[in-house]
Amino acid sequence: MKRLFPERPAYKKERRTVGFPILAAFLVLFLCRLLGDKLPFHLPPLVLTLILEVLVFLLPFLLYVLIKKQPNSRALRLKMPRAAHLPLLLLSLVTLFSGCMLLSILCGGTGSLGNSFTSFEDAANPDPLLMLAAVGVLAILPAIVEELFFRGLLLAEYERRGLLRALILSSLLFAFIHFDLANLPVYLFSGFLLSLVLYATDSLIATVLLHALYNTLSLLGQRYLNALYEFTGNVQLFLFIMILAFLVSALFFCRMTAKIYQSRDRREVGEPRRCVPRNVQLYTLLDAIADPCLVLVLGISIAGFVLFS
């Protein structure tokens, strides 16, 4: 038991403040989803999504940064990816798309390929202007505000005591806020992969680009992939192609990220967050989970899974 649960080390207790914007985001989205059909007015889906993205993610992020005056741009990693990162981004896009497709199939369908609050199917429209607006609101805007909130704010705040809880909590919260229990593995996988891309490139803009490309592919191609999956007479071939694409891209993605970290270690460009002892990271993770705000978030998530799934 001592090996599984080491003795709690002595470390300075940190202030729990990042839980407040997380709780605000979950509560606002939960209430909007709960009261959506009971509102006295009706908004077009694109307008509703635009308002939700701003209220749920952008507003809590801006208020937290303005009040706390942190994290700064360096902690948020607001810099452009280098040209050498382009192959990594392409590999991660194939891994993300094929992996989410396979997980979605395992979860019972292919209807959860995107990360917006409205169905991408609803955005299909022959009008090029409406389609352009759909791409902006359903693909690009969510990529920006969700990455700022999850891979920007949450990772920057939680990684102060190590990367373990930053990776775990940001991925879990990213999955929980979709209130979709059936497709929870899809969102867990995508959140974790986006976090790995962030640490490999050290660029939040890289994850924004990856997230936006993924959303755009889902928006423009989902109905065709659904039709291929549901109506083709050769589903085995479809699955074989998806599995092959995932395995090959994931293999090269892992090798490339490993080389990046090995190169950093050889140059002695270490990250203090990676050097935090494991026993410290374990207990700071438990401390973060015990945050009353996160306990309330868990309760909201369970209620959302029951009501909206």
- pLDDT, one tens digit per residue, over 37-69 is 676 667 788 888 899 999 999 999 999 999 988
Which residue, 55, 68, 47, is CA-closest to 177?
A: 55
pTM: predicted TM-score of the whole model, two decimal places: 0.88
Q: Assess whether pLDDT exceeds 70 at residue 122.
A: no
Q: Is the pLDDT of residue 3 over 70?
A: no
173 touches 154 (CB < 8 A): yes
Closest C-alpha to 67, from 30, 15, 29: 15
CB 226 within 8 A of CB 119: no
What distance in Å separates the CA atoms of residue 216 and residue 231, rounded to the nearest whole number? 23
pLDDT digits (tens, 9 = 90+) for 16-26: 789 999 999 99
Tokens of 297: 């978030």
Q: Alpha-carbon distance 95 to 252, whole Å?
A: 10
Does 110 have pLDDT greater than 80? no
pLDDT at 111: 46
- Residue type at 181? L
The answer to whether the CB of 56 falls within 8 A of the CB of 218 is: no
The answer, yes or no, to whether residue 271 has pLDDT greater than 70, is no
Q: Is the pLDDT of residue 118 over 60?
A: no
Prior bond to 71 cis, omega within 30? Answer: yes
pLDDT tier at 273, thresholds 50, 70, 90: low
Q: How many CB atoms lie within 10 A of CB 153?
A: 26
Q: What are phi and psi of 232, to 5 degrees?
A: -70, 150
Average pLDDT, the chain: 84
Measured CA to CA, the distance from residue 280 to residue 6 in angstroms comes to: 9
> In this predicted structure, which of 182-186, 232-236, 257-261 has the lowest mean pLDDT?
232-236
Residues in the chain: 309
168-172, 223-227, 293-297: least confidently modelled range: 223-227
For residue 278, give Cα distances in angstroms to 5, 143, 232, 251, 281: 11, 32, 49, 27, 5
Q: Is the dihedral of CA 154, 160, 163, 169 positive or negative?
A: negative
Q: How much is the average pLDDT of 236-248?
A: 88
φ and ψ at 300, to 5 degrees? -65, -40
Query: Contact 205/148 with Cβ under 8 angstroms?
Result: no
How far apart, in Å, do the first and last CA atoms of the chain sit? Answer: 38
CB 26 within 8 A of CB 150: no
Report pLDDT for 126: 60
112 pLDDT more than 50: no
Q: What average pLDDT score do residues 2-13 get?
A: 70
Task: Report which DSSP code applies to 160.
Answer: G
Residue 241 confidence (pLDDT) above 90: no
130 pLDDT band, cuts 50/70/90, is confident
Q: What gap in Å lies between CA 110 and CA 142, rounded to an integer? A: 20
What is the percent of the chain with per-residue pLDDT over 70, rounded to a whole number? 84
- Angstrom distances, CA of residue 162 to CA of 59, 271, 282, 283: 27, 10, 9, 11
pLDDT at 192: 96
